[in-house]
Chains A and B, each alone.
Chain A
Amino acid sequence: MSNIDVEKIRKDFPILSKEINGNKLVYLDNAATSQKPSTVINGIKYFYENINANPIRSIHSLAEEATKNYNEARKKVADFINAEPEEIVFVRNTTEAINLVSFSFPFKKGDRVSTTYMEHHSNLLPWLQLKEKGVNVDIVSVSDDYELDMDYYKKLPKNTRLVALTHASNVTGTINDIKEITRLAHEQGSLVLIDAAQSVPHIPFDIKNIGADFVAFSGHKMLAPFGIGVLYIKKDIAENLKPFLTGGEMIKDVSLSKVIYENTPNLFEAGTQNIEGAYGLGLAVDYLNKVGMENIEKYENELTTYLYEKAKELKNVEVYSGKSRRFSGIFSFNVIGLHSHDTAYLLDKKGIAVRSGFHCAQPLIEDRLKLDGAARASLYFYNTKEEIDIFIEELNNIAVKYGRR
């Protein structure tokens, strides 16, 4: 058994005791966004009551305090993934992080970049846009078991400069072997970008062990407020990137004829940043560290296994799951004969929150799975086996009443 006292943890998340449509909330939409603990919620209030000022530039005491806290948040995030603080760029979210790389990376006409069929649109559209610049975009195929074609990575097409892929699929929960793919890509002279939005919140993530060059993830999926995300850029690589947004706080010296830019990470943080968000992310990281990422991974594996075991009893329900799913806690499904939106609507009437539709992964769902959508339950470490029982019971009721072969 894992070392998680889930009842104690749940007390830290005020929203979890809320009622929805007359029922106790069962929040199973964690892959969309996580709930926030009191330390983060109260921390934001504390920030504005005690720390608020524009950091970095102003030199008065309060601004120093804000700068100190902003830097501390960066250090906390760096430690969390075993990186150096200067390798951590604060952005709005995963989408912005990947757009930054696609814009700033020195692609030339005829270069190749690859992404995959199992990506969220945020790791697909920024690359497809590069076609306009004459960059070729390869889309790595996905097998019937929802696994990536590893043969592709063993022999990358010539001129491949960057390999982009997700660590964990937000639809099938498939976990990709990013360490091996990074090794293969580096051997062939390509850099690697990992969309870690669905993994960093759930497992110990050691970037030095993985070795990838860019890693993107969002704070709001890991207990932090909305509007703060992270782009990890491996040391020395940032030098080859051009600035993304230009303006305040990203320069060393400006005249009308010449601009000397700051070094990373400030170079990529133009304008006044989301200091409150970074501070909140730091507190979220503190909370996750206190629970322990190894404990979280272990507990979520238990919960996920329990969910999939229980789901075997269901009739008139189709499940779309990668073989390699482990920690991601993702369970995508349809009641046969019912649109995912209607399934989600019926679950919501019982207080159960799940996602439905394309999950911003339309090519995977429409072209590969041949579906017009799927419903998805996604777990986090504050979910319980009792909640899974409630979910399975209600899903069964819906499947019995509405399911049709």
Chain B
Amino acid sequence: MEDDKFYELVELYRNPEHYGKLSKYNYSENGYSPSCGDKFSVYLDVENGIVKDASFDGKGCVISTVSLSKLCSFLIGKPLKEIEKMELKDVESLLGIEDISISRVKCATVGLDAVKKVYKEVKGS
């Protein structure tokens, strides 16, 4: 990753969009990345399968925080089902970076995994 790109992500990390618990949500899940100590919760307001609103809180590194923030932006207004086919490379494109290193994969996917858990829950209900 170029220094400028990283600097840009750090700026987003300092004031992430969609940070903080939603006042109204019907689904919530936790995500962990134990090696880094990332610990997040995602909150989703889902109506008729559509994500009306999404947010997250918790603590983690630049990669995990920004990817959660971008994931929330991406999901709002879309069918939750979209998450089903999303994978690491989709998070990478949300972040605007390529080839995330092995040790950071869990950071990048902590939000993805949490939202997938929500989707399973919604689908099962």
Contact = CB atoms under 8 A, between A and B. Distances in A.
Given A339-B62, A341-B61, A342-B62, A366 B37 contact: yes
A404 B14 contact: yes
Contacts of A365: 37
B35 interface: yes
B61 A342 contact: yes
B60 A339 contact: yes
Contact of A357 (B35, B63, B65): B35
Nearest to A402: B10
A328 interface: no
Nearest to A338: B10
Given A341-B61, A341-B107, A357 B36 contact: yes
A372 B58 CA distance: 10
A356 B10 contact: no
A32 to B, nearest CB: 12
B55 to A, nearest CB: 19
A358 B34 contact: yes
B89 interface: no
Interface in B46-92: 59-63, 65
B4 to A, nearest CB: 11
A337 interface: yes
Nearest to A374: B37
B37 A358 contact: yes
Given A372-B59, A372-B60, A339 B14 contact: no
B62 A372 contact: no
Interface string A338-354: 11111001100000000
Contacts of B35: 357-358
Most buried by B among A338, A341, A401: A341
Contacts of A346: 6
A320 to B, nearest CB: 14
Contacts of B63: 341-342
A269 B107 CA distance: 39
A373 interface: yes
Listed from nearest, the 3 A-B pairs whose CB atoms lie closest are: A339-B61, A341-B61, A372-B59
Given A341-B107, A358-B34, A372-B37, 20 more contacts: A338-B62, A339-B13, A339-B36, A339-B60, A339-B61, A339-B65, A340-B61, A341-B36, A341-B61, A341-B104, A342-B63, A345-B104, A346-B6, A357-B35, A357-B36, A357-B37, A358-B35, A358-B37, A372-B39, A402-B10
8 contacts: A338-B10, A339-B60, A340-B36, A340-B61, A342-B61, A365-B37, A366-B37, A404-B14
